[in-house]
Structure 1
């Protein structure tokens, strides 16, 4: 095995070798094209549209079969001056710019930022979990456990969080989904509800004040000013999956409104995994003038979900449908009701845009597991952000600064679990978290195509607990943190179709109340857990031509006090700080036309399109006194997702896909127990020409492979450790959608 320094050198040399061919290719392709997004390659090629009218009224609808699109979004930054909403009809809202504007914002980040249009998954998959949304984003590992619950990690974030989410900050229209102490949940996310999804890896999430190793994901809903805001869809498939979804929107004078809702249910692949959900989101906007707009957001969810539980490796690979016995006898569940309200107002001046707003979230978690957890969350906060883009001394300068406030209280009660019902009270506390984030970033264009970027972020965070159940001792306490996280980067727009970027950044992650929690008592008091700090180095390139797209990045994060599972009690992980670790890897997203004009000869040819996302992970302890240079458990070393689609200009498409984990990965810090390598083959076909109707049918895991989709981790495992979540067997899904 290579020493750490040699492995790092080898990684960077390999990265440079990967980037060089694309540099040569892009120099021969200077065409102005959009910044890289996750594509919907089955879509018929959109026609070029005329410029949008200056009035805010809806543009005429194009003919059926011709999907409208925005004018090209060039990678080279536009000249500074009066900020615009964007060139496309979908971007008419000042408070909620469209996908084209999100692409422009992504193109100004000196690091990996990915924009996922809803068209890339909503019309061709069941859109059941966030895995369907994030499947083709390299560096992101998203594997469903049961129902909506998913194990999500970006660049190795939150590897040791066996429940909920830590290390990635989730937002809905820029409003936090995570609780004030940092944990996130996926049950409030409806993959059918969004216009696009933005993935900010690591410090590239500074615009949201995010300060974690993984970064941030923002789920963005449409508005009444979008093209064709109305639609209805129905999906169904294996294991009792069914869903009805609709969306309605429109404008009336200066007002616009949009609402989307869904009702979903499933019996589940495994025993005791049935669930149902009702979700709704909407917004109402009012335009005072071309330069002033306000928008009110609301979101509500009711989710009821049984939990089948983790099982041993042998059970997962032989009888994957079987639930854990304790989960059945305890009728374990995760049920949640939420209500989210927010407002955002945008003011546009000559060279400056100011955004500000406030939000409130009420969440009730009813969660019978080893105990019956009854938690009530009340989160609230506000934000203000200013973007100034002007010429200073003959040079373009773009300055962004903002303040985020996110505070909240958790009324935390735990009871004995009597077969899914409350028994005697076993613990009670009132937990409070307060977070104030200040951030600023400046991009100075030393050349019209080269920007030097520098930024910083300051986080003031406090955590306090008032123990109201003292018979087992007093666990009251408080902590506070003051953390600076600077960053610097370089962005080079080599051609309008090709960018190169590099950055170095610091990140800081404050522990949540869930760290070191254990029954009957924590191994390490939660007040003793230190924040996780990391320094990350990143280099990459992205670009697009009509027949080839790429998004490549290599990174290394040197981490101090990583929040990891180093101790365990009765198989449950207790998180504390590791001495030193590192995460490094390569992320590659490629799209390529392998053949075209196979059955047609026209300006809009048919084509054979390859879509591929590959992630290489190298996560390790660094000279740890107990674990040496062991691999960090919880994520595969290699992960490949690919599809090969034949698409016809009529809108028909068909092709196979693959999900491949060629090497098993460890599930414990001692590196004694692994998962199992697997490969899954799928097939999809459908019709979507950009018109009113679309339909799909998709088969997954055609070989009915028994595999492990995800795993919890502990410090040292045995063959009897119940850590494994079996993957779903052979399944088929179909859906039909009408939009207008």
Structure 2
């Protein structure tokens, strides 16, 4: 089922009655067709809360999207395809594969101009977020993912360096008879995708092996990309009380970088690309390989142990459009980044089931430790008059990141309808940099710093009845600057920006979750109110030539509401809807390195006040499915002063799919049209871009079609 967004703001007179009307129409249509009652709701266990619990009894805002829904009638390349309707999550495809997706949860991470900040990302329990809080999503293989969980709010404190939330992706486990699936899709702007997946179980070993390649010419000049991905998972049970899982993945991305354009250039031509990226042939190559091993052992009926270890390598070469003149000072780091990372870590966890006052008590005690060794070089992006080539060395440093965080979570069902959850984590992140580029005018910029904080979490849950749960939670968060964010100092000063402090926050949330299990209508709906106060908010100070600097902005406040529903209307109709209202503002005024000041009360850059989604799927026959998706995002502030705002937009997509089984063969054909009305809109913004090139345009009307063919041995 796909999800759609509708704006509930001024200028769009749609209200919650619209959702109710759509539900009534769908229910009426189902009744007219004489459809049978919808199937029983599946029981789903949430894994992201450490002490696992059924979704209905989870005292946190969490959304689970299964892999079949993520893949159905989609490219299977970007998380934005299947998660963009998740409440609280602003996830937009930048149409720029050199910079990853623009992702924020409840306004956390909105400042990021590339990669992910303020949100922890895990794949099969292995962190895709480094100890400094910088993450990326490009290694998530949607072709083989079993589910994705999006956890929001105070519970994320138990994962350490993340204020906004956690995204957990889990690969399918190979089971049953061997099966092979091949897929092909093509669409607008030269997009093509090839995929191959094998899965099954043989000799007590379950396996899933997946490989894919995605190519695009890009919507704008200088935006072509080539992404190759491989993912594998092996499972086996060495003994009656143990389980072993091995995962490995590799991703290689070659992508051009079109950068942003000014609002005036975008209005004149949405396909425009500034001259700088063209002159310097801005581009990025990223290669990453990692492996992980998880071992689970059931000691006895009350105790279990889990050990996860992982290691990986990542290399990035990026050519930026930094002007030649800006690279003349001795303190310049050049216009080419050459970055290599070796990283690894472990998570050791003990789970214990006990009784306290004759009530069940579940305990989890663990230690998470991670280390990153980084070699970073910078070079000029020119040789003589030739631009876009690697020139003289301008930066050379060895950076080390590490953390060792003990954590504890307890869940106590102290009364028949009551449950108390509590957790505590000691977050401890250390940065060390050793400068090896010391020349006249550029001295030794070596240094180190450490950030520490206790991160508590407390949640109380009450069952109003068997189908309705309410909860309230509170927690503390810490978001450190990343190494990329301390790489440059505002105002062109030399050295690392070790004066940048972590943002600390206190979050509170109240929520309600209710299951609906009628004869005609089945599903669930959820609601949450949230409030977060943050000190030393990290914001972009400047962003020029692909180089961003950051500063602390004093106090900020994020508060709002989330609503979501997933409903099965008889057997043929399925409805998903989500609404997020976010009030994210500066509580203190801030001034940049040039003396320009922004008063308190301005919206935090990169955030939207409202976003909403509605999607309706119709299955007139077991072989056919037809869907309509509508999504809307209100205006997004592009800079701290809010003088530039990307206009709000609403877009409609239609899709269809056909599945047919012939003995061991299974055919799945699909097609979709995105942005059916060919709306002109800004897909994402580059926060505080120094030249005013804030906008990254989204494509107009786009089509895609494809098919997959599977064989079961």
**8 Å contact kept, 1:461–1:482:** yes
**8 Å contact kept, 1:153–1:159:** yes
1:374-453 superposed matches below 5 A? 374-418=338-382, 419-453=387-421
**8 Å contact kept, 1:206–1:439:** no
Cα separation, 1, equivalents of 2:568 and 2:292: 43
- Counterpart of 1:366? 317
The structure-2 alpha-carbon separation of the partners of 1:498 and 1:651, relative to structure 1 and needing over 3 Å to count, comes to: farther
The structure-2 alpha-carbon separation of the partners of 1:105 and 1:315, relative to structure 1 and needing over 3 Å to count, comes to: farther
Cα separation, 1, equivalents of 2:545 and 2:632: 33
Q: Report the 3-state secondary structure (helix = DSSP H, G, I; strand = E; otherwise coil) of the residue aligned with 1:316.
A: helix
- Counterpart of 2:136? 185
Cα separation, 1, equivalents of 2:173 and 2:291: 16
Q: Report the 3-state secondary structure (helix = DSSP H, G, I; strand = E; otherwise coil) of the residue aligned with 2:492.
A: coil
**8 Å contact kept, 1:294–1:345:** yes
- Counterpart of 1:167? 118
Q: Report the 3-state secondary structure (helix = DSSP H, G, I; strand = E; otherwise coil) of the residue aligned with 1:225.
A: coil
Cα separation, 2, equivalents of 1:499 and 1:651: 37
With normalisation by structure 2, the TM-score equals 0.84
- Counterpart of 1:658? 630
With normalisation by structure 1, the TM-score equals 0.81
**8 Å contact kept, 1:571–1:714:** no
Cα separation, 2, equivalents of 1:317 and 1:698: 27
Deviation of 1:497 (Å)? 3.2
**1:308-343 deviation per Cα after TM superposition (whole angstroms, max 9, x unaligned):** 111111222331222221111111112111110111
Q: Report the 3-state secondary structure (helix = DSSP H, G, I; strand = E; otherwise coil) of the residue aligned with 1:190.
A: coil
- Counterpart of 1:632? 604
Q: Report the 3-state secondary structure (helix = DSSP H, G, I; strand = E; otherwise coil) of the residue aligned with 2:361.
A: strand
1:455-534 superposed matches below 5 A? 455-471=423-439, 472-518=442-488, 521-522=492-493, 525-534=496-505
Deviation of 1:431 (Å)? 0.7
The answer on 1:613 being equivalent to 2:578 is yes
Deviation of 1:104 (Å)? 4.0
The answer on 1:582 being equivalent to 2:557 is yes
Q: Report the 3-state secondary structure (helix = DSSP H, G, I; strand = E; otherwise coil) of the residue aligned with 2:68.
A: helix
Cα separation, 1, equivalents of 2:52 and 2:539: 35
Deviation of 1:500 (Å)? 1.6
The structure-2 alpha-carbon separation of the partners of 1:572 and 1:372, relative to structure 1 and needing over 3 Å to count, comes to: closer
- Counterpart of 2:9? none
Deviation of 1:606 (Å)? 2.8
**1:267-324 deviation per Cα after TM superposition (whole angstroms, max 9, x unaligned):** 1111111111111111222312231111221111111111111111122233122222
Deviation of 1:499 (Å)? 2.2
Q: 1:237 aligns with which of 179, 187, 193?
A: 187
Q: 1:356 aligns with which of 307, 318, 340?
A: 307
- Counterpart of 1:325? 275
Cα separation, 1, equivalents of 2:483 and 2:495: 12
**8 Å contact kept, 1:146–1:307:** no
Q: 1:694 aligns with which of 668, 676, 686?
A: 668
Deviation of 1:648 (Å)? 2.4
**1:479-519 deviation per Cα after TM superposition (whole angstroms, max 9, x unaligned):** 01221011110122334433222100001112111224448
- Counterpart of 2:32? none
Q: Report the 3-state secondary structure (helix = DSSP H, G, I; strand = E; otherwise coil) of the residue aligned with 1:736.
A: strand
- Counterpart of 1:146? 95
**8 Å contact kept, 2:295–2:307:** yes
**8 Å contact kept, 2:160–2:427:** no
Deviation of 1:118 (Å)? 0.8
Gaps (5+ residues) in structure 1? 1-17, 23-43, 49-70, 78-96, 597-604
The structure-2 alpha-carbon separation of the partners of 1:392 and 1:523, relative to structure 1 and needing over 3 Å to count, comes to: same
**8 Å contact kept, 2:423–2:458:** yes
The answer on 1:557 being equivalent to 2:508 is no
1:2-41 superposed matches below 5 A? none
Cα separation, 2, equivalents of 1:518 and 1:359: 30
**8 Å contact kept, 1:239–1:267:** yes
**1:103-122 deviation per Cα after TM superposition (whole angstroms, max 9, x unaligned):** 84545542112211011120
- Counterpart of 2:297? 347
Cα separation, 1, equivalents of 2:317 and 2:547: 20
**8 Å contact kept, 2:155–2:457:** no
**8 Å contact kept, 1:573–1:713:** no
- Counterpart of 1:3? none
Q: Report the 3-state secondary structure (helix = DSSP H, G, I; strand = E; otherwise coil) of the residue aligned with 1:146.
A: coil
Segment drifting more, 264-273 vs 230-239: 230-239
Cα separation, 1, equivalents of 2:51 and 2:265: 45
The answer on 1:641 being equivalent to 2:613 is yes
Cα separation, 2, equivalents of 1:689 and 1:588: 36
Q: 2:685 aligns with which of 677, 699, 711?
A: 711
Compare the two structures and name the one with the higher strand fraction: 2
Cα separation, 2, equivalents of 1:683 and 1:238: 15
- Counterpart of 2:704? 733
Q: Report the 3-state secondary structure (helix = DSSP H, G, I; strand = E; otherwise coil) of the residue aligned with 2:641.
A: coil
Q: Report the 3-state secondary structure (helix = DSSP H, G, I; strand = E; otherwise coil) of the residue aligned with 2:156.
A: helix
Cα separation, 1, equivalents of 2:352 and 2:410: 9
Segment drifting more, 301-310 vs 558-567: 558-567
Cα separation, 2, equivalents of 1:529 and 1:227: 55
Cα separation, 2, equivalents of 1:494 and 1:353: 32
Q: Report the 3-state secondary structure (helix = DSSP H, G, I; strand = E; otherwise coil) of the residue aligned with 1:640.
A: strand
Q: Report the 3-state secondary structure (helix = DSSP H, G, I; strand = E; otherwise coil) of the residue aligned with 2:155.
A: helix
**8 Å contact kept, 2:157–2:477:** no
**1:163-213 deviation per Cα after TM superposition (whole angstroms, max 9, x unaligned):** 222111111111111234321223323322311111122332356x33311
The structure-2 alpha-carbon separation of the partners of 1:244 and 1:110, relative to structure 1 and needing over 3 Å to count, comes to: same
Deviation of 1:226 (Å)? 6.5
Segment drifting more, 324-333 vs 545-554: 545-554
CA RMSD of aligned residues (A): 2.9
